[in-house]
């Protein structure tokens, strides 16, 4: 336990270090890194989105962009490394060990912390997924550095500092955060916030392997089993091209079927606002917004959704937002592109029929017969 505490001598009043005074030992920290998240052999798309963002930062800083690939020793991990080059990596740091087959905080924290301490990146980016946040929090605390969570914008300042912008207070404000005097500067970014960069076929480049230096007995936590979300539709909301969503304005779980029906005709995913999850009408993996999924579809149709800021932050990346709401003053009309002031319960079936007729003329005959 702790020794006798020192009496605090001065108040932590002023912001002690808003000026950049990078300690000498941090000056060796160079380059931009992206943690490539893979679980059960599949790279999470957020990693490639981050490679796109990381490339821009690296180019501005005139440094290399490196991917950090951590996973079991085998084909999938090799493939993730090769893919990193196609998404702009100059080099790859790799920790491949069969103990890394499943994500576990202890082993992954050790792997990533070791690579950081050895090769010293200036900026380290991770996806704000369940894995990324679990890992980022542990790594940042181990390294005693700053971590800015859930960023929506990343840039570098004139003095080369990472300027990480994130929503705060449920998206009603944005703040730009710096980690001036500590390295690496760490940030997490939610899936679908950054655009997916183009994949360019390239040969594999330099891969730097790093050992894990652990045996199974060193890792206390054991994975007893894994239950995949079998309903494949479950995880697709964030990556859907078309999303139809309903809100409280629909009035009842029965009316929510109208949203599902339109989604089916459009080959779309369906989603909802938060109150519908709280009422138990729709499962939580369908919630869109600050505490739900961020979406980035080409077309988003919102029926009976008011457009509260917490909902707005999850849909703003959509190319085309269409709102159906009975209240012409609903906030959703402030950020929708196309709107219609009408009863969604009546319009949705008509819209479903009209889309069906327009998109696939034959289906009308099929249904008629």
Q: Find the binding residues for another protein in span 100-139 (CB under 8 A).
A: 102-106, 109, 128-131, 133-134, 136-138
The single residue among 109, 145, 152, 273 that binds ligand FAD, judged by CB under 6 A, is 273
Contact 287, 272 (CB under 8 A): yes
Q: Please report whether residue 197 would count as binding ligand FAD according to CB under 6 A.
A: no
Note whether 326 binds another protein by CB under 8 A. Answer: no
248 binds, among another protein, ligand FAD, none (CB under 5 to 8 A by kind): ligand FAD
Contact flag: residue 366 with another protein (CB under 8 A): no
Candidates 209, 233, 291, 367; binder of another protein (CB under 8 A) is 291
**Minimum Å distance from CB 209 to another protein?**
25
- Part of the chain binding another protein (CB under 8 A), chosen from 66-74, 93-101, 116-124, 217-225: 217-225
Q: Residue 305, interface with ligand FAD (CB under 6 A)?
A: yes
The answer to whether 343 contacts ligand FAD (rule: CB under 6 A) is yes
Shortest reach from residue 318's CB to another protein, in Å: 11
Q: Are 163 and 156 spatial neighbours (Cβ–Cβ below 8 Å)? A: yes
User: Applying CB under 6 A, does 345 fall inside the site for ligand FAD?
Assistant: yes
Give the contacts of 187 (CB within 8 A, at least 6 positions apart): 123, 124, 125, 126, 147, 148, 149, 151, 154, 162, 164
Residue 158 binds another protein (CB under 8 A): no
26 binds, among another protein, ligand FAD, none (CB under 5 to 8 A by kind): none
Q: Is 153 exposed, middle or buried (0-12, 13-18, 19+ CB in 10 A)?
A: middle
Helix 361-368 × helix 344-359 angle, to 10°: 110
Region of residue 121 (left: phi > 0; alpha: psi -120 to 50; beta: else): beta
Which is closer to another protein, CB of 206 or CB of 279?
279
Q: Is residue 23 at the binding interface for another protein, with CB under 8 A as the rule?
A: no
Shortest reach from residue 167's CB to ligand FAD, in Å: 11
CA distance 216 to 173: 45
Q: Does 340 bind ligand FAD (CB under 6 A)?
A: no
Q: What's 24's DSSP letter?
A: G
CB 287 within 8 A of CB 273: yes
Nearest to ligand FAD of 179, 290 (CB atom): 290
Q: What is the DSSP letter of 367?
A: H
Task: Give dist(CA 249, CA 180) in Å, integer.
Answer: 47
The CB-side HSE value for 126 (13 A sphere, CA atoms) comes to: 26
């Amino acid at each position: 336990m702790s020794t006798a505490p020192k009496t605090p001598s001065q108040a932590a009043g002023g912001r002690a270090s808003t000026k950049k005074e990078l300690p000498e030992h941090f000056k060796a920290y160079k380059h931009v890194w992206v943690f490539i998240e893979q679980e059960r052999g599949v790279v999470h798309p957020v990693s490639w989105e981050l490679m796109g963002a990381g490339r821009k930062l690296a180019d501005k800083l005139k440094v290399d962009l490196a991917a950090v690939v951590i996973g079991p020793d085998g084909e999938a991990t090799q493939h993730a490394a090769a893919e990193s080059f196609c998404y702009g990596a100059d080099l790859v740091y790799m920790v491949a060990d069969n103990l890394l087959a499943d994500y576990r905080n202890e082993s992954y924290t050790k792997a990533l912390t070791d690579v950081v301490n050895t090769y010293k990146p200036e900026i380290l980016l991770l996806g704000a997924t369940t894995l990324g946040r679990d890992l980022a929090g542990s790594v940042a605390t181990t390294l005693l550095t700053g971590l800015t969570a859930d960023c929506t914008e990343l840039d570098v300042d004139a003095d080369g500092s990472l300027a990480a912008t994130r929503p705060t207070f449920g998206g009603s404000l944005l703040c730009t955060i710096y980690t001036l005097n500590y390295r690496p500067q760490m940030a997490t970014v939610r899936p679908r916030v950054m655009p997916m960069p183009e994949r360019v076929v390239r040969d594999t480049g330099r891969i730097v392997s790093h050992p894990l230096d652990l045996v199974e007995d060193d890792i206390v936590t054991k994975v007893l089993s894994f239950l995949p979300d079998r309903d494949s539709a479950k995880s697709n909301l964030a990556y859907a091209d078309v999303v139809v969503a309903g809100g409280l304005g629909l009035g009842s779980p029965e009316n929510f079927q109208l949203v599902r029906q339109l989604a089916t005709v459009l080959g779309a995913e369906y989603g909802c606002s938060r109150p519908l999850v709280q009422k138990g009408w729709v499962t939580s993996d369908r919630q869109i917004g600050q505490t739900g999924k961020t979406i980035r579809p080409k077309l988003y149709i919102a029926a009976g959704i008011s457009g509260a800021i917490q909902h707005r932050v999850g849909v703003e990346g959509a190319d085309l937002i269409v709102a159906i709401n009975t209240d012409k003053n609903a906030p959703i009309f402030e950020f929708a592109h196309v709107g219609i002031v009408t009863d969604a319960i009546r319009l949705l079936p008509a819209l479903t029929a009209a889309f069906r007729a327009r998109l696939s003329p034959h289906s009308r005959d099929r249904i008629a017969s």
